[in-house]
Structure formats: C-alpha cells, structure tokens
Copies of this chain bind each other. A is one copy, B any other.
Amino acid sequence: MSALVTRRQLAENLSFSSLAWGAWRLRTSPDVSGTNDIVRIMETALDLGITTFDHADIYGNYGCEDYFGEALATVPHLRNQMEIVTKCDIALVCDARPDNRINHYNTTKPHIIKSVETSLANLRIDHIDTLLIHRPDPLMLADEVADAFNSLQQAGKVRYFGVSNFKPSQFNLLQSRLDQPLVTNQVECSVLELGPVFDGTFDLMQQNRVTPMIWSPLGGARLFKDKDDAVAAHLRPILEEMRVKYDVAGIAEIAIAWLLALPCQPIPVLGTMKPERIQAATQACNITLDRQDWFAILVAAQGHPVP
C-alpha cells in the first residue's frame, strides 16, 4: 500500500506525502464521533503512507485542532511519523472568538505568534512542521510577517513556512522579505476549479520549484451530487469512462489523478473522514493518466476544445 503514496521534497529537511489528509470537516462530519474515530483515521493514513496532516486554527470554528490533539495525546508515538501543517490569519466571527465582530484577516506579528501558540496547545505538540498564512491579507506588512516567522523558527515552534490562496504578486511580495523559500502555496484546484492552472499561480510554483498543496481537490460535493451543475454533469461521463478504463473504484480517484499529473506536482488534501475513502483515494497515485485522457477531461471541464 505504501508504495502508492510517494514523497515530495519541499525543503532540505522537509518532505510531505504526495497525498495529505485534511481536518477541515473533523468536527462536523457524521463519520467522526470521538477520539477512537480520529485515531483510526490517523492510523489508516499513516499505514497508507499519508503522513501529512493539514489543519487550520479556524477549522470547526476553532475546534478541530483541539479535537485532533486530544486524540493524538492518546497515541503520542504517532506524532513523529507526521508532518503537521496548520494555518493562521483568518479571524472568524464565532462563539470561540467573541472579540471578532466581522470575518477578517490578521497578519500582525502578535496575532501570528498567539495563533501558533494556541495551535500548539490545542494540537498537544511542541512544534508545527509548516505554518501557512491562510488568506492574503490586504493589510499585510511583509516585513512584519517575516519578523514573526523568524521569531517562531528561532523559538523552535515552527520549522517551515508557506502560504495559502496567494496570487503570484502576493507570493512574490512575501518571498522577497524571507531568508528562506516559502515551501508551499495551498490553493483550490480541481476539475471544477481550474484557476491556478491558467492564472500564473502554478507557472510560478513550477518556476520557483515550490510544491503546491490543493484544497477541495474534488470540488466539494458538486462533482458527485449537484444535479443542476452543468459543468459537473458534463464531466461525470468522461470521468466514469476513465474510471472503467483505469479500473479504479470511483471517479474521485480519476479526479485526483488528474491533479497529480500537473507538472508542479501538487499535493491534494483529502477531506474525507472515512478510512475506506482515504484508502480508495490512494489508488489515484497508481494511475498515470494517458496525456490524451488528461486533455479529454480538461476539455470537458472547460467546455471547449483546446485552441
């Protein structure tokens, strides 16, 4: 099994698995009712070679890190088999943060430091492997973010840094102030969301040899369920055709294999809480889509032939 999921080298002393697992829906999924379920997810993922666990301070209204950390504390020997990613800078209006009057971003040094310390406490770990700025903040002072990163690294609290949802100009700005390369840019991409393939984001990632992570690699539930989504409806038959041809369990594996074929070598983040779905998804790593099949899916996604 572990032969399916391979490794991506993000920095000299940092590698991620070619698929990651994400905690976004950990507290809201009907498939998770407590610590035992979370430990089972961890063990399933690790057994499959999925060692990269993606978090954010805000997931589950600031509750997922704690939920995960509570479970991790029962299996502490698993920690050093994992790369733990988390994020900061989104500030949500919710009961857990009564001071927030409006959803906003915060890239000040005090907020970043405090967010990391809260994440460490909630996750019951002593360092984060990679911290991401979750959303580009129009008030970002890149020098201040760089200063926060340096402090966190020197304190041993965060090993590496990246961003999420950054456009090329925002990536270049922050990178210009850092002594070390940003190790990732986690962006939305799927057969239903082609943005970073064509807006220059993945061109820059390949140019800088930065490995992107991909959130919502299946386009949420649209691809499977939305009867009114014309693009999804257009895509399902071709994905189904490929499912049969490549002999995998579901069209999700084809949709993930399509992302894995991108030359920037992105790491899709799996959002499922079902161990059997995690296992099935690793089949995607075993598929090398024929180039023409890849373009057939692109053409269905775009709704027109390539020029």
Which residue of chain B is the closest to A207 with respect to CB atoms? B173
Q: Interface centre among A142, A173, A200, by most B CB within 10 Å?
A: A173
Select one of B139, B165, B262, B263 contacting A291, CB under 8 A.
B139
Which residue of chain B is the closest to A175 with respect to CB atoms? B207
Give the copy number: 3
> Is A292 in contact with B207, judged by CB distance below 8 angstroms?
no
The distance in angstroms between the C-alpha atoms of A198 and B176, with both chains bound, is 18
> Is B291 in contact with A200, judged by CB distance below 8 angstroms?
no
List, in ascending order, chain B residues with CB within 8 A of A135's CB.
Answer: 306-307
> Is B263 in contact with A198, judged by CB distance below 8 angstroms?
no
Please name 15 further chain A to chain B contacts, defined as beta carbons within 8 Å, in addition to the given A105-B295, A142-B207, A172-B207, sorted by A numbering: A102-B292, A102-B296, A102-B305, A104-B292, A104-B295, A106-B291, A108-B291, A138-B263, A139-B261, A139-B291, A139-B294, A140-B263, A169-B207, A170-B203, A172-B203
List, in ascending order, chain B residues with CB within 8 A of A203's CB.
Answer: 167, 169-170, 172-173
The distance in angstroms between the C-alpha atoms of A252 and B30, with both chains bound, is 50
Select one of B101, B108, B200, B262 contacting A169, CB under 8 A.
B200
List, in ascending order, chain B residues with CB within 8 A of A101's CB.
Answer: 292, 296
**Residues 92-136 of chain A, each 1 if its beta carbon lies under 8 Å from chain B, else 0:** 000000001111111010000000000000000000000000010
List, in ascending order, chain B residues with CB within 8 A of A102's CB.
Answer: 292, 295-296, 299, 305
